[in-house]
Amino acid sequence: MKVLKAIEKGSVPCKAISLYPNRLEVMLYSSVERDEFPKLLVKRVRNERLNAMEIEVVFVGDYHLEKPTYFKKPQRDWVSFGALILSPQQALELGQLLIALSSKEREK
């Protein structure tokens, strides 16, 4: 995945970001509870290869690795591989930012 330069961007703090691919023995976790200050960087980019504008959401912040010990279902049966936890206010901010960056493309 190529990193594309942002035409415009904004960010939204979040409560936690967790990635837990079932093929790995560890999960990546970033949480405000551990002073890691996760946030979402939302960028409007131009994908030259596809000749299209895109909205890209990037995880930013400190993180740590944990061994997943508190899940009930065996790892091999997991369907999901990550979670993003937002407060209602953060979800509203993210929605407004996504709409704002997406609407600019429609104006052209």
DSSP sequence for 48-87: TTTTEEEEEEEEES--EEE---S-SS-GGG----EEEE--
Residue 106 CB contacts under 8 Å (≥ 6 apart), including other chains: none
pLDDT at residue 11, rounded to an integer: 95
As a whole number, mean pLDDT of residues 14-31 equals 88
**pLDDT per residue over 49-97, tens digit each?**
889 899 999 999 999 998 877 777 777 777 888 899 999 999 999 999 9
Q: What single-letter DSSP state applies at residue 92?
A: H
- Report the DSSP pairing between strands 6-13 and 82-85: unpaired
Q: 100: alpha, beta or left, given left = phi > 0 and alpha = psi -120 to 50?
A: alpha
Comparison of pLDDT for 25 and 99, the residue scoring more: 99
pLDDT interval class at 20 (50, 70, 90):
confident
- In angstroms, the CA 35 to CA 27 distance is 18
pTM (2 d.p.) = 0.82
Q: Which amino acid is at 105?
A: E
Determine the distance from the C-alpha atom of residue 44 to the mean position of all C-alpha atoms in its chain, rounded to a whole number: 14
Report whether pLDDT(108) > 70: no
Task: Enumerate the domain spans of the chain.
Answer: 1-73
